Amino acid sequence: MASTTYRGVGWIGLGSMGCAMATNVQKLLLREGRPVLKFWNRTASRGAPLVSLGASGCDSIERLVTECDIIFISTSDDTALISIVDQILDVQKLDGKVFVDTTTVHPNTTKETSDRLKSRSAAFIAAPVFGATPAAESGSVLMAMAGPGKAVEIVAPFGKGVIARDVMVVSDQPEQASLLKTLGNFIVAGTMEIIGEAQVLAEKSKLGTGTLEKLLELNFPGLAHSDSTRMTQGVYLPEEGTSPWSNLNLGIKDVQHGISCAKDAGTRLRVAEVALENMMRAKDFSDAHGGRPLDSSSGYGIIRQDAGLDFESDFVKERDAKKQHGDSK
149 vs 228: CA distance, rounded Å: 39
Helices 248-264/174-204 angle, 10° precision: 120
Mean pLDDT within 145-173: 97
Mean pLDDT of the chain: 95
| Banded model confidence at residue 132, pLDDT cuts 50, 70, 90 | confident
25-68 pLDDT, tens per residue?
A: 999 999 999 999 999 999 999 999 999 999 999 999 999 999 99
> What structural domains does the chain harbor?
9-172 (3.40.50.720), 180-328 (1.10.1040.10)
Q: List, as one string, the DSSP characters of 150-169.
A: HHHHHHGGGTBTTTEEEEEE
Q: Which of 328, 305, 29, 1 is nearest to 154 (CA)?
A: 1
> Given this model, what pLDDT does residue 31 score?
96
| Banded model confidence at residue 326, pLDDT cuts 50, 70, 90 | confident
CA torsion angle for 264, 265, 268, 269 (degrees, to 10)? -90
72-126 pLDDT, tens per residue?
A: 999 999 999 999 999 999 999 999 999 999 999 999 999 999 999 999 999 999 9
Sign of the torsion angle spanned by Cα atoms 150, 154, 160, 164: negative
| Banded model confidence at residue 2, pLDDT cuts 50, 70, 90 | very low
Residue 136 has pLDDT above 90, yes or no: yes
In the chain, DSSP assigns E strands to: 9-12, 38-40, 56-57, 70-73, 98-101, 123-126, 129-130, 141-146, 164-171
Mean pLDDT within 129-134: 90
Mean pLDDT within 129-149: 95
271-318 pLDDT, tens per residue?
A: 999 999 999 999 999 999 999 999 999 999 999 999 999 999 999 999
Query: Residue 2, Cβ neighbours under 10 Å: how many?
Result: 8
> Given this model, what pLDDT does residue 7 score?
79
> Given this model, what pLDDT does residue 325 score?
73
Residue 4 has pLDDT above 80, yes or no: no
> Given this model, what pLDDT does residue 227 score?
95
209 vs 212: CA distance, rounded Å: 5
Distances in whole angstroms, Cα of residue 74 to Cα of each of 21, 32, 47, 152, 274: 9, 23, 13, 17, 29
253-268 pLDDT, tens per residue?
A: 999 999 999 999 999 9
119 by Cβ neighbours in 10 Å (0-12 / 13-18 / 19+) ranks as exposed
81 vs 327: CA distance, rounded Å: 40
> Given this model, what pLDDT does residue 1 score?
37
> Given this model, what pLDDT does residue 173 score?
98
> Given this model, what pLDDT does residue 60 score?
97
> Given this model, what pLDDT does residue 311 score?
98
